[in-house]
Structure 1
Amino acid sequence: MLIRVCSGCLYPTSIGLAGQSCGVTMAVPSLHRAGMRPDLLALASGLAAREERFALVTVVRREPPSSARVGDVAVVTETGEYYGWVGGGCTRSTVLREARRAIADGEPRLLSLSPAPGEEQRPGLVALPMTCDSGGTVEIYVEPVLPVARLVLFGSSPAVRVLARIGHAMGYRVEVVDADADKAAFPDAERVLQSIAPDALPRGAHVLVATMGERDLEAIEAVAARAPAYLGVIASPKRFAQLRDALLARGVPRTVLESIAAPAGLDIGARTPEEIALSIMAQIVERRRRAAEPALGTSAPATGARHTAEVNGIKYYFCCSGCRTQFLSEPARYPAAKAHRS
């Protein structure tokens, strides 16, 4: 069937909407059924099983003319792949951008796309312009689906035991790796292992090496190759300097070594195991919420950052495109930048 539509939003304009379309005539498929299709459900399930980050996007309200229907669903991956339908070209680019921002900061948002976004102001609503000439309003809920953060602890010292309890209380999946670890000492840990193969380490985890000189070199080298979101080492400055030199000799990039927190934890004057564990968890939280802006030597919040880049598995955040371009032109100039994954 041939009808007159707007090529941007594919909304039929042959009845009562003359003059609101670009006038392109093209074939339009039969009306789709709103809702979560089985293939999208399977896709989302697979992404979640592989612990990949993605967003579910759902149309929750519409005012005609709009090609979207209430209940339409799309899946957007961290790399920007788009599956499903929540509207045509008038909404796609905006939804894609906002979905990737939600994946980056972990915060859901309710979007309103309308010809007059200034009139759509409500608490909690992100009002954005509808770029299609035919108009219409659509509200879309964006829900990021992120894997549970992992906390991997090498060692079984009193501070490690406390950190395992804190991590569990904060919703982390806690894993302990230590040849002498007693499972009874870590009731909140999901797994207590005597050893772990390097390729079995989860990517993007938050890791503490507190083995007190026992195979700490091997542990740090293995973790560094898995793009950790955080890598802290409980060691004296002298000991870590020795470790750093040995790791450099083994080929670990200097930029990766510069991102390691050693001694681990914020400087709060911690003395007891409880205080040490608290300082380490505070540092993990700080690095999750903020990322460095190496071009300027200042910090930029990861939440809502529009300008990002990834180098050697580490994600960097910038306040503007100029700083991003400056950094990417010669990233080796900024070895001291402490940049971390969100």
Structure 2
Amino acid sequence: MEEAREPFAVVTVVRTVKPSSAIVGAKALVTAAGEMIGFVGGQCIQSLVISQALACIEKGASQLVLITSDLSQLRSTDGITVLPMTCHSEGTVELFIEPKLPAPVLLVIGHSPIADSLQKIAVHLDFQVKSVALDHASSDGADNLSRFTETIRAHLSPGAYVVVASMGLYDTESLRALQGFSLSYVGLVTSPRRREAVLADLQNQGVSEAFCSFLSAPAGLDLGAVDPAEIAVTILAEIIESRRKKQTLAPVTPPVTENKSRREVIDPICRMVVDLNTTLHKAEYQGKEYGFCCPHCRQEFLKHPETYACTVEV
């Protein structure tokens, strides 16, 4: 998954209180699609763990999760998410969930002192740095703009950050190549005066107003920078600001927590979250399908379905 740049979360059991099938040190992976690989506890807690892991992947933050049947612990605790253990076997499991997210792509377009400085500094800021310049995209010594556009697009991935630093040589061509991608930042190294000319050129060529508004030009925070390295720092500072505020240019990539293969419902007996598409324990009553965490809950429901027929999807 790391090689494929797929986000996932590592779940580790850090504490248990009997009775519990979990073992301290046990690990599992939860994919962005909601699949669990490994074992950190029985079926009763699996849906809870997957939901919490998906939330951690979306937020990009680690979390301690306590799942317990001890009512005295079911209260808000700083730094710990406390959830009720709904298994009839009871017990307590404490887990550490750590998201593993691929380093975002920073694509630097152009060959210039600012571009060089950007690449050197960005590698220390957890970016996967890529670069492309027109001479790198030429074929048999000929400047091929079509091939250059294809090269730019081949380096892009959803949520990428892009800085065009061609110093006016092929700014418009580079920016047009970015159309249709979900990007987190697009910056153009230019002067305030030339910015208007570039925007007018883009609009005349049919580039959307949304893209032109999203474009940061001149790129970088206004810190009074002078030399190329200083300007690169201001651009990276603006990128960091955009990254932490999670700004994105449409078309927006769906959040990793959106998973059409999961249909979460609440077990009407124990109130546990269950994936209706994967649970083995189901029942139908008055034309509606219900999901359960275990055979016991299903049996209890079937005894008096009219009493419990109020479940709702999460």
TM-superposed CA distance for 1:265, in Å, is: 0.6
Q: 1:211 aligns with which of 166, 169, 176?
A: 166
Structure 1: gaps of 5 or more residues = 1-46, 182-193, 293-308, 317-342
TM-superposed CA distance for 1:72, in Å, is: 4.3
Q: Aligned residue for 1:338?
A: none
Paired with 1:95 and 1:115, the residues of 2 have a C-alpha distance of 15
Paired with 1:117 and 1:242, the residues of 2 have a C-alpha distance of 66
Q: 2:54 aligns with which of 85, 90, 100?
A: 100
Structure 2: gaps of 5 or more residues = 137-147, 256-314
Q: Contact (CA 8 Å) 2:10, 2:97: kept in 1 or not?
A: yes
Is 1:53 aligned to residue 7 of structure 2? Answer: yes
Amino acid in the other structure paired with 1:273 = P
Paired with 1:131 and 1:240, the residues of 2 have a C-alpha distance of 59
- Report the CA distance shift for 1:178/1:199 in structure 2 as closer, same or farther (over 3 A): closer
Is 1:312 aligned to residue 251 of structure 2? Answer: yes
**Superposition map of 1:1-342 within 5 A:** 47-88=1-42, 90-116=44-70, 119=73, 125-132=79-86, 134=88, 135-179=90-134, 197-203=151-157, 204-248=159-203, 250-291=205-246, 312-313=251-252
- Residues 84-93 or 216-225, more deviating: 84-93
Paired with 1:232 and 1:161, the residues of 2 have a C-alpha distance of 15
Q: Give the structure, 1 or 2, with the largest relative contact order (CA under 8 Å, sep 6 or more).
A: 2
Paired with 2:235 and 2:53, the residues of 1 have a C-alpha distance of 31
Paired with 2:207 and 2:134, the residues of 1 have a C-alpha distance of 25
Q: Contact (CA 8 Å) 2:149, 2:177: kept in 1 or not?
A: no
Q: Contact (CA 8 Å) 2:162, 2:185: kept in 1 or not?
A: yes
Q: Say which one has the larger Rg.
A: 2
- Report the CA distance shift for 1:99/1:199 in structure 2 as closer, same or farther (over 3 A): same
TM-superposed CA distance for 1:88, in Å, is: 4.5
Amino acid in the other structure paired with 2:48 = T
Give CA deviations for 1:168-195 in whole Å, capped at 9, x if unaligned.
22232322212358xxxxxxxxxxxx88
TM-superposed CA distance for 1:62, in Å, is: 1.9
Give CA deviations for 1:192-245 in whole Å, capped at 9, x if unaligned.
xx8862441231222100112222222112234332222111123443334334
Q: Aligned residue for 1:24?
A: none
Amino acid in the other structure paired with 2:103 = V
Paired with 2:77 and 2:118, the residues of 1 have a C-alpha distance of 37
- Report the CA distance shift for 1:108/1:124 in structure 2 as closer, same or farther (over 3 A): farther
Q: Contact (CA 8 Å) 1:63, 1:138: kept in 2 or not?
A: yes
- Report the CA distance shift for 1:289/1:242 in structure 2 as closer, same or farther (over 3 A): same
Give CA deviations for 1:67-110 in whole Å, capped at 9, x if unaligned.
43445443323344444443345433432232123223333222
- Report the CA distance shift for 1:291/1:150 in structure 2 as closer, same or farther (over 3 A): closer
- Report the CA distance shift for 1:246/1:94 in structure 2 as closer, same or farther (over 3 A): farther
Amino acid in the other structure paired with 2:80 = V
Paired with 2:211 and 2:39, the residues of 1 have a C-alpha distance of 40
Paired with 2:242 and 2:209, the residues of 1 have a C-alpha distance of 19
Amino acid in the other structure paired with 2:245 = R
Other structure's SS at 1:175 match:
strand
- Report the CA distance shift for 1:250/1:59 in structure 2 as closer, same or farther (over 3 A): farther
TM-superposed CA distance for 1:311, in Å, is: 5.4
TM-score norm. by structure 2 comes to 0.65
Tell me how large the CA RMSD over aligned residues is: 3.3
TM-superposed CA distance for 1:283, in Å, is: 0.7
